[in-house]
Amino acid sequence: MNKILIAISIAVLFTLALSLPLDSISGREKSEETAEYGNHYEGDMLLNKDQLDALSSPERNGLINEKYRWPNKTVPYQLSANHTKEQQDYIEVGLKTLESVSCLKFVRRTNETQFVNLTGEADGCYSSIGFQNKSQNLNLQKYEPGSGCFRLGTIMHEFLHALGFYHMQSAYDRDDYVEIKWDNITPGMEHNFNKYNSSVVTHFNTTYDYESVMHYGAFGFSKNGNATIVPTDGDLGKIGQREGLSKKDIWKLNLMYECENTVEPEPEPEPEY
């Protein structure tokens, strides 16, 4: 009888231990599904000096600027010995998925000097924005594949940063689609909700995308458990998915890299500002 009780106790403790990493994520940022961890610019973006300057000057240029695109539509990457084989394989599942919907190629680095350097530091998931013309880090904190930084959508989210995409809710017209609840944002984290003007970011001839894998969830950087981003129709569930790429994510990726598009998300002209 005692043996059974001990076995049950061990099972319960084991289950609790397994659930702990997720709880600690939630403490850092309320929304598990947004998976934006870390104290970098907008949580998970490393901006170079030009990019920071661009944000503070009216002559902004970011995502639209072609110098941030990977030459030859090819991204060399170097896996980290800090990740397990299983984690490395999962990263490559994400890369294969990006390849399958575009004409981009991800190749293991041999002697290239410009490449994505995967790291597995314990401070979240984050990436530089676009091609940096040198070795650039992309960090994926170690989690079980399918959770935390190792959700497939999060892996692709970080690589979309590396390819040149900012966050969806940074779009210049976002206030027509979402309301930012400034009173609920953790003090000091307001910069995560910046928006960029239309000389920096473009919708690539399509419209605002609630379903983008690049959209924060409703509770990103909340200080009190209340929503920080509310879609205009009040449906909190429509933002922050990390299951995979939306149709418009694929559309924009293919336009940015001049691939043939296989999806057609009803493109509409951008509003004039």
Q: State the residues that interact with Zn ion by CB under 5 A.
A: 44
> What length is written for the chain?
273
Smallest separation (angstroms) from Zn ion to the CB of 192: 9
Catalytic residue of the set 158, 179, 190, 266: 158
Smallest separation (angstroms) from Zn ion to the CB of 14: 32
Residue 223: burial class (beta carbons within 10 Å; 0-12, 13-18, 19+): middle
To the query of whether residue 260 is one of the catalytic residues in this protein, the response is no
**Beta-carbon-side half-sphere exposure of residue 203 (alpha carbons within 13 Å):** 24
Tokens of 95: 């890369």
128 vs 202, which CB is nearer to Zn ion?
128
Smallest separation (angstroms) from Zn ion to the CB of 60: 19
Strand residues in the chain grouped as ranges (E): 45-46, 74-78, 105-108, 115-119, 125-128, 135-140, 178-180, 229-231
Q: Are 81 and 121 in contact (CB under 8 A)?
A: no
Q: Which residue has the tokens 């090819």?
A: 74
Tokens of 182: 């400034």
Q: What is the dihedral of CA 55, 74, 259, 103, to 10 degrees?
A: -130
Smallest separation (angstroms) from Zn ion to the CB of 215: 10
44 vs 209, which CB is nearer to Zn ion?
44
Q: Are 265 and 251 in contact (CB under 8 A)?
A: yes
Catalytically active residues, by annotation: 158
